[in-house]
Amino acid sequence: MGKMYLFSEITGVVVKSSAPVQDATVEQEYRWAWKDETGKEQVKTDSQGNFSFPAIVRNSFFGSLLPHEPMIRQTLLIKHEGQVYKAWMFDKGNYDQNGELKGKPISLYCDLDEPLSHKGDVYGICQLR
């Protein structure tokens, strides 16, 4: 039975005007097309603006045997002072651990003052650390 990483572990920090943002809500969502599974978790940033999410992993006997094209829509939203910021939007096309960034762990620096932009295949306000 193969491990399928739907969303790799994430660490990050949220800042505004170069200062850490405490108690911002960071919401992680995913939609796994093959199983039509969705999920949502949320955390609050700590006093230094830090947040983290563990990896979302599934085991599937048939998923590891049957040919199919992996497709997992990933989203991170940051909610702070009545605003919603698109932090990370990515369509993952593999089940590899850290497959989003070709083997690199996801470590984000999210500046609420930054405009939305593409960083390769990732869209949002966050930069990779």
Q: What is the CATH number of the domain that holds 27?
A: 2.60.40.10
Core vs surface per residue 15-26: b (16+ CB within 10 A) or e = bbeeeebeebeb
Q: How many domains does the chain have?
A: 1
Evaluate if residue 1 carries a pLDDT over 60: no
- Band the pLDDT of 34: cuts 50, 70, 90: confident
User: What's the per-residue H, E or C state across 30-50?
Assistant: EEECCCCEEEEEEEECCCCCE
Quote the pTM value.
Answer: 0.91
The predicted structure's pLDDT at residue 3: 87
90-112 mean pLDDT: 96
Residue 67 in this model has a pLDDT that exceeds 80: no
Per the structure, the complete domain to which residue 92 belongs is given by 2-128
Q: What is the mean pLDDT of residues 65-77?
A: 86
Strands 10-16 and 19-20: antiparallel
DSSP, res 17: T
